[in-house]
Amino acid sequence: MEMAPVPQASAGAGRDLRFAQELTFSLSDLQYNYPDEPTESGLGPQAELERLAREGQPIVIRRGCLRP
């Protein structure tokens, strides 16, 4: 089986390489910031879910707000 030929670099490859070398962004800079999620009780989202689970309440999410 023969190997496919290596494609030639495009005219914009040098520009792309220079752009990539100037980036200071790193994937390790990313982090997930959980959005504010108001609850009727005023508890945080995790505490509200725990409270509802202990009470056996059905959990419904409406418009970003946890409600029993």
Which structural domain range is residue 56 located in? Answer: 34-68
* Percent of the chain residues topping a pLDDT of 70: 79
Number of domains in the chain: 1
Is 18 a member of any domain? no
Is 19 a member of any domain? no
The mean pLDDT value for 35-54 works out to 84
Sign for the CA dihedral angle at 13, 17, 23, 25 comes to: positive
Global pTM value: 0.35
Q: What is the rounded CA–CA span in Å between residue 67 and residue 39? A: 7
Grade residue 36 by pLDDT with cuts at 50, 70 and 90.
confident
Is 63 a member of any domain? yes
Is 50 a member of any domain? yes
Q: Which residues contact 34 (CB under 8 A, 6 or more apart)?
A: 45
Is 21 a member of any domain? no
Is 17 a member of any domain? no
